[in-house]
Chains A and B, each alone.
Chain A
């Protein structure tokens, strides 16, 4: 019997650090000995840049624009430590239909059975932040990814996006689609950031897989066109990504989340806004809020 390929989709608000996290995850998994493909599902096609020395690669849809038939291996490029990099690409901003582009690119790979041929252990889809139309939901439909992780900071808008994503997952979870593995908490530096995310995951019946602090090491690595795993393998930040990779490698059971409705979410955010204000005014000491 063919081995099981773990297919994961990473979602989250635009600019929250999905590609950074995904690329470091891919790099760390490959260093742990796994065969990994990172599939960028964003028309900007920059998901895999830091795995390839900052270089852009020809995308599935660019190739499809030139030729009628695209062979999958024409658009697979090896990056750091043998990670296979693919970018779906898309139309120019403001024209065409990017959602259909994602459907076409993902189906092209599915039909050609590339994952089996490459003997992959992991396929990681790095998906555009906003699930604006049906096409962007394709990676979490039945038969594509099984586990979704969402990258979020403690900012309200990022959690709002995560909550929306949970709604999408809940819809597909009844029909064999992907389930939620958990939240990758990113840029958690402020003392209250962790508390906010912890509170959010508790209310939405999920968990935090890893807390990743904002770090200048990441910026330094990315300026070199590299992942932190490649540029600063011994840094504390690389250790966090390695720990994330190991948790994801061991992760087996994802669940259907329980997203908040808009009213609940607003009230919840308002509660936190009041609390944060009271910290700033010194009415409540940060250390004292542990029981909130």
Chain B
């Protein structure tokens, strides 16, 4: 029986229009019913860290707005018109047609329509992102695969060039800051990072993807299908590092792993790590009394987050901050095939500490379980906007980290690396200290 899911924490695959939108001067063309574009984008952007507007924002995404007529007679003609007109009126570099549920049920041959724009002067590709294929994270993978399959051309490999694939744009409100911090870390150890999302990237960095000497995927599962396809198509090897590194323990391990894979000398990496750790621990020492004397924070915490953040934040809080993980909730609709490998990652904290993990998309059920859990003090709850009310009810300390993050404005903030860990501590302890006054 189908249950009603309370409190959505992702949208459908068509939400991948935000992946396209995060590529500078790229525009998604929706072959979907009216409303799909605005509703999905609102949830992913304006309701999530204050994102959403920009040069080509969702307010102007072209859409075929198909209705009953196109369902009965097929929507190919309407799509063709929509693409033709989009090419005329939108000054963009890259057009990605995305199909929604209705056009895919009807069986429109989008490939044929898109192919007729082969000589349009600007690249037009398509991805089949019907909502019934899965959520926006799956949609993100479908869009990246479409770029790989339909746009990229083989190129000669550039030594030390590394494509970085991390958290999913828009879905993760911190995506931009994360990429900036990851690029910086990768550069410091002597590799050349290449990323495709955000300002000053766009097609020129997409074109470099096949030149990379390896792909670096920093994600528990999202993106695996992309790096596998890149390996298959261009023979580019990939390093799958499943944990978004936050704090010295994970970041040190991350840098050493990447360096080893990329053939970087240990002495270079160790020097980078030492410099960062010195700086990081200076602040930890300075705030040590605050950490130790603030007794209002419980020693147990809970994350209700996508697999990226549930894993990354809990690793930091356990391994660097000495907190204990209560049951962790992963709410990103992870596909069955990855559940085992991802749940195993929650068994590998330092000192043999393990966390129970539950994969669930049902907010009400998750919150019911949290209500029944004893956190031995005010619980530290790291979740989405949906947990804000719960935290009030439980007198907990609350911080929003996972979609939807509607109560925060997030610009370039990131919790990645050494600096990111300091920001996370600031954010957590600002909440904790406020309640203690």
A residues near B (Cβ < 8 Å) are 68-69, 97, 99-100, 103, 133-135, 137-138, 141-143, 172, 175-177
- Within the complex, what minimum Cβ distance (angstroms) separates B229 from chain A? 11
The 8 Å CB contact of A142, one of B104, B111, B337, is B111
- Within the complex, what minimum Cβ distance (angstroms) separates A66 from chain B? 14
Considering only CB atoms, which chain B residue lies closest to A103 in the complex?
Answer: B107
- A142 to chain B: which residues have CB within 8 Å? 111-112, 115
Considering only CB atoms, which chain A residue lies closest to B116 in the complex?
Answer: A175
* CB atoms of B109 and A134 under 8 A apart: yes
* CB atoms of B116 and A138 under 8 A apart: no
* CB atoms of B115 and A134 under 8 A apart: no
Q: Could you tell me which residues of chain B, from 83 to 117, have a CB within 8 Å of some CB in chain A?
A: 104-109, 111-112, 115-116
Residue of B104, B107, B108, B115 contacting most chain A CB atoms (<10 Å): B107
- B107 to chain A: which residues have CB within 8 Å? 99-100, 103, 133-135, 137-138
B289 within 8 A of A: no
Bound complex: CA of A215 vs CA of B74, how far in Å?
Answer: 41
B285 within 8 A of A: no
- Within the complex, what minimum Cβ distance (angstroms) separates B335 from chain A? 8
B336 within 8 A of A: yes
Residue of A99, A137, A142, A175 contacting most chain B CB atoms (<10 Å): A175
With A68-B336, A69-B337 already in contact, the answer to whether A141 and B105 are too (CB < 8 A) is no
- B337 to chain A: which residues have CB within 8 Å? 69
- Number of contact residues on B: which range applies? 10 to 19
Shortest Cβ-Cβ A-B pairs, 5 listed: A134-B107, A175-B112, A135-B107, A100-B105, A99-B107
* CB atoms of B112 and A133 under 8 A apart: no
Having A133-B106, A134-B106, A175-B111, one finds 20 other A-B pairs with CB under 8 Å, namely: A68-B336, A69-B337, A97-B105, A99-B106, A100-B104, A100-B105, A100-B107, A103-B107, A134-B107, A134-B108, A137-B109, A141-B109, A142-B111, A142-B112, A143-B111, A172-B109, A175-B112, A175-B115, A175-B116, A176-B115
Bound complex: CA of A137 vs CA of B108, how far in Å?
Answer: 10
How many Cβ-Cβ contacts under 8 Å join chain A to chain B? 39
Bound complex: CA of A134 vs CA of B337, how far in Å?
Answer: 31
* CB atoms of B112 and A172 under 8 A apart: yes
A-B contact pairs, 25 of them (CB 8 A): A68-B336, A69-B336, A99-B105, A99-B106, A99-B107, A100-B104, A100-B107, A103-B104, A103-B107, A133-B106, A133-B107, A134-B107, A134-B109, A137-B107, A137-B109, A138-B107, A142-B111, A142-B115, A143-B111, A172-B109, A175-B111, A175-B112, A175-B115, A175-B116, A177-B112
- Within the complex, what minimum Cβ distance (angstroms) separates A91 from chain B? 12
Bound complex: CA of A69 vs CA of B115, how far in Å?
Answer: 31
Bound complex: CA of A168 vs CA of B409, how far in Å?
Answer: 53
Residue of B105, B116, B336, B337 contacting most chain A CB atoms (<10 Å): B105
- Within the complex, what minimum Cβ distance (angstroms) separates B32 from chain A? 16
Bound complex: CA of A138 vs CA of B128, how far in Å?
Answer: 14
Q: Could you tell me which residues of chain B, from 114 to 132, have a CB within 8 Å of some CB in chain A?
A: 115-116
Bound complex: CA of A115 vs CA of B115, how far in Å?
Answer: 25
Bound complex: CA of A177 vs CA of B115, how far in Å?
Answer: 12
- A135 to chain B: which residues have CB within 8 Å? 107
- Within the complex, what minimum Cβ distance (angstroms) separates A20 from chain B? 27
- A100 to chain B: which residues have CB within 8 Å? 104-105, 107
- A133 to chain B: which residues have CB within 8 Å? 106-107
- Within the complex, what minimum Cβ distance (angstroms) separates B101 from chain A? 10
- Within the complex, what minimum Cβ distance (angstroms) separates A168 from chain B? 11
Bound complex: CA of A138 vs CA of B107, how far in Å?
Answer: 8
- Within the complex, what minimum Cβ distance (angstroms) separates B97 from chain A? 15
- Within the complex, what minimum Cβ distance (angstroms) separates B117 from chain A? 12
Bound complex: CA of A133 vs CA of B336, how far in Å?
Answer: 32
- Within the complex, what minimum Cβ distance (angstroms) separates A145 from chain B? 14
Considering only CB atoms, which chain B residue lies closest to A133 in the complex?
Answer: B107
- B109 to chain A: which residues have CB within 8 Å? 134, 137, 141, 172, 175
Considering only CB atoms, which chain A residue lies closest to B103 in the complex?
Answer: A134
Bound complex: CA of A134 vs CA of B128, how far in Å?
Answer: 15
- Within the complex, what minimum Cβ distance (angstroms) separates A116 from chain B? 12
Bound complex: CA of A188 vs CA of B111, how far in Å?
Answer: 39
- Within the complex, what minimum Cβ distance (angstroms) separates A90 from chain B? 14
Q: Could you tell me which residues of chain B, from 306 to 347, have a CB within 8 Å of some CB in chain A?
A: 336-337
- B105 to chain A: which residues have CB within 8 Å? 97, 99-100
- B108 to chain A: which residues have CB within 8 Å? 134
- Within the complex, what minimum Cβ distance (angstroms) separates A41 from chain B? 13
* CB atoms of A141 and B106 under 8 A apart: no
Considering only CB atoms, which chain B residue lies closest to A107 in the complex?
Answer: B128
Bound complex: CA of A15 vs CA of B337, how far in Å?
Answer: 42
- Within the complex, what minimum Cβ distance (angstroms) separates A171 from chain B? 8
Considering only CB atoms, which chain A residue lies closest to B101 in the complex?
Answer: A100
Bound complex: CA of A268 vs CA of B393, how far in Å?
Answer: 80
- Within the complex, what minimum Cβ distance (angstroms) separates B417 from chain A? 36
- B104 to chain A: which residues have CB within 8 Å? 100, 103
- Within the complex, what minimum Cβ distance (angstroms) separates A127 from chain B? 13
- A97 to chain B: which residues have CB within 8 Å? 105
Bound complex: CA of A135 vs CA of B108, how far in Å?
Answer: 8
Bound complex: CA of A68 vs CA of B116, how far in Å?
Answer: 35
- A177 to chain B: which residues have CB within 8 Å? 112
